[in-house]
Amino acid sequence: MYTSKNIVILVLVNLFLVCTSLADGQQAIFLVRHGETVAPKGTDARPLSEAGQQRAALLAKLLKDAGIKAIFTSGLERTIKTAEPLAQTLRIEPKALSQLNAPEFKQSDVDAFVAFLRVEHREDILLLVGHTVTVSFLLKDLEHPVEIKIPETEFDNLFVLTPKADGPPIVMRLRY
């Protein structure tokens, strides 16, 4: 069931995508942190809690008509399961990038991934499901001029980044 908050977010995302699609060759990149987990921080095998599963289902509802062509996860179960409902809806096989697992990832891995996106997915709309640190580093590497820190207790951030040819990207920070 949609709440008025969810409807407003959906309308804003769709309006943003329609406006940005008018510019030739522009893409949108959606970045989210994985949903809530059951196990405490510090263990890699942390399955999604019931709230995390509901958040993943809501993400699928919000983004199913956004035109997403590729989905990337960090390779850990919690990011894969967050992306799974949307991936199934869109019939897209998510690409798990184990080198982006927090905290082991290196800046050079993030740099290489962003370079790959700019070449291989320059005109696509993408979803990236990561962690508090990787989402922040990806936003920075995608030239967002403001440093973003996601608290460990927040799982509802939805960043919509649209690159611009002349300057930093447009970034919207929404909650879902």
89 φ/ψ angles, rounded to the nearest 5 degrees: -60, -45
Fold of domain 4-175: Rossmann fold (3.40.50)
Tell me the C-alpha distance between 70 and 121, whole Å.
8
pTM of the model: 0.81
CB 145 within 8 A of CB 171: no
CB 56 within 8 A of CB 83: yes
Radius of gyration of the chain from Cα atoms? 15
Asked if the peptide bond before residue 145 counts as cis, ω within 30 degrees of 0, the response is no
* Look-up of token digits 């959906």: 10
Max Cα separation, the chain?
45
Q: What is the pLDDT along the chain (176 residues), one digit of tens a residue?
A: 556 666 656 555 555 554 444 444 458 999 999 999 997 666 667 899 999 999 999 999 999 999 999 999 988 999 999 999 999 999 999 998 865 565 556 677 778 888 888 888 888 999 999 999 889 989 998 999 999 999 999 999 999 999 888 889 999 999 99
